[in-house]
Structure 1
Amino acid sequence: MIDYSAPDLTQHPPRSPRVRLGGFVHLPRLLDKARAFAAGKHGDYIYPCPMDERLFAFAGVDATAFLDAVKCGKSDTEMLAWLMEHLSPARLPHEILAWSDWLENLAPGDPRRHGNFATEIERMAPGRLDIVTTFDRLELDDYTAFGGRG
């Protein structure tokens, strides 16, 4: 059974980046990674990674302060309340929705990142033409890292 209060990311991946909490895409995954990092069970997952930093930048929240709040044992609901209290600037629901939609559909970006993206897709799932967003690649990587075949 998975213990989401201290997930062991050497045994299973974090939640999908598409899962939302309070309208924020990636937040449940970020919580899984932060909790695993705090417990020393993050495996190959990085906290904070560039995707985490995008959420912190949008929210105006410091990664260390977020991790300190996670270490207090707060639930997902309590961490959402903490995040909402610390948003800087304050965000309206439609802003959170627009940002989440943007992040969920984000592609690699510059030519170098596109090249790395293509190399990784070829390694994990040769011939897949449906992996086009960063979230698509993260989910594929999670799947193949734990024995799935792309």
Structure 2
Amino acid sequence: MTTNTDLTTRPPRSPRVRLGGFAHLPRLIDKARAQTSQTLGVYEYGDASLLDREFFRFIGITADALLAEVSRGGGDLSILQWVLTNATRSLLPHEIAAWSHWIENVPGLSTEARAWFAEFSASLEPPRPDVSTLFEYLDVDDYVRFGGQA
């Protein structure tokens, strides 16, 4: 199985795609695979990414630890098992679902992020009142980055 992901030619999966109930995890895995193959492109992995940091804080593992696991070449299911095994505490399905719902609907994770997001939203041409969360922004940005029109 090939696990290389080239994010210079296509976007990572939408942050809405879930694995084991976790929003953002498949996207995070795509970015980690691209990081290991040095094809991350304009995307950010680990501490440079707001969403990545929130995932790692929730799970209690580090970006480097996940990167090391991903570099072993396993599929999504084996990486999910590794995440669950290495989380700093056992997570119940409803905790994962609640975190995923929260992260999917948050407009910004910090004062700076909210200010940036407000500026970004105001700059969209044509105006996009439907883009009000980070996930919506990422979906639009990924689409536009690879040739779509907002």
TM-score (ref. length: structure 1): 0.92
How far apart are residue 83 of structure 1 and its match? Answer: 0.4
Aligned to 2:44: 46
1:1-150 matches, cutoff 5 A: 5-48=3-46, 49-108=49-108, 112-150=112-150
How far apart are residue 5 of structure 1 and its match? Answer: 1.4
In 1, the alpha carbon distance for the partners of 2:111 and 2:32 equals: 30
Contact 2:56 2:62 in 1 (8 A): yes
Gaps spanning 5+ residues in structure 1: where? none
What percent of counterpart residues are identical?
A: 44
Instruction: Specify the code of the residue in structure 1 equivalent to 2:140.
Output: L
SS in 2 for 1:149: coil
Contact 1:124 1:140 in 2 (8 A): no
In 1, the alpha carbon distance for the partners of 2:110 and 2:96 equals: 25
In 1, the alpha carbon distance for the partners of 2:124 and 2:53 equals: 25
TM-score (ref. length: structure 2): 0.92
RMSD value over aligned CA atoms? 1.7
Gaps spanning 5+ residues in structure 2: where? none
Change (3 A) 1:126 1:110: farther
Give the length in aligned residue pairs.
148
SS in 2 for 1:147: coil
In 1, the alpha carbon distance for the partners of 2:103 and 2:22 equals: 10
How far apart are residue 35 of structure 1 and its match? Answer: 0.1
Contact 1:124 1:144 in 2 (8 A): no
